[in-house]
Amino acid sequence: MFENIGGKLKTFAKVSFWVGMVFAVLLGIVEAAQSKSFLLGVLETALWALGIWLEALVVYAVGDIAEKSAENNKLLTKMAASQLEQEPKRVSRLDALSKDEPARPTDGWICEQCGMRNSSGARFCKGCGNYK
Ligand SMILES: [Zn+2]
């Protein structure tokens, strides 16, 4: 019932505007008949029409704002979701970068026998026990 409240408000504004206009004309006719003055009848209609138009304008504007903010909210949710999807990719790219980074020579030495990387202070390979 309260879904798409913006669109409903806009529809209500349009409908109430046209119903109001008919109402304003009828009131003008009644006023003209009672006062026996065509001018007073027109004035009555014009005043009612102005009020109804302003009311419809305000309701329509509120409906428009509600509709647009709902659209914005959808868009933001979508953006946030796609950002979350991209997050793991970015992390894995960073991971790949750090893995691909060549080892600095100060990091130690590589065992000729088994290929294990050992700290520079170590004299024996921690992998196979081979002497440096
Ligand atoms: Zn070794």
* 94-119 confidence digits (pLDDT tens): 565 555 555 555 678 999 999 999 99
**pLDDT reported for residue 93:** 56
**pLDDT reported for residue 102:** 56
Could you tell me which residues come within 8 angstroms of residue 125 by beta carbon, excluding any fewer than 6 positions away? 111, 113, 114, 116, 118, 131, 132
Give the Cβ contact number of residue 41 at 10 Å.
20
* 62-78 confidence digits (pLDDT tens): 999 999 999 999 999 99
Q: Are 17 and 56 in contact (CB under 8 A)?
A: yes
Select from 26, 20, 93 the least CA-distant residue to 59. Answer: 20
Residues whose Cβ atom is located within 5 A of ion ligand 1? 111, 113-114, 116, 125, 127-128, 130
- Candidate from 11-15, 25-29, 80-84 with smallest mean pLDDT: 80-84
**pLDDT reported for residue 82:** 87
Q: How confident is the model at residue 4 (pLDDT cuts 50, 70, 90)?
A: confident
Alpha-carbon distance values, 41 to 16, 32, 34 (Å)? 21, 4, 9
State in Å: Cα 120 to ligand 1 middle. 14
* 32-66 confidence digits (pLDDT tens): 999 999 999 999 999 999 999 999 999 999 999 99
What average pLDDT score do residues 20-37 get? 95
State in Å: Cα 95 to ligand 1 middle. 27
Tell me how far apart the alpha carbons of residues 17 and 3 are, in angstroms, rounded to a whole number.
22
State in Å: Cα 39 to ligand 1 middle. 109
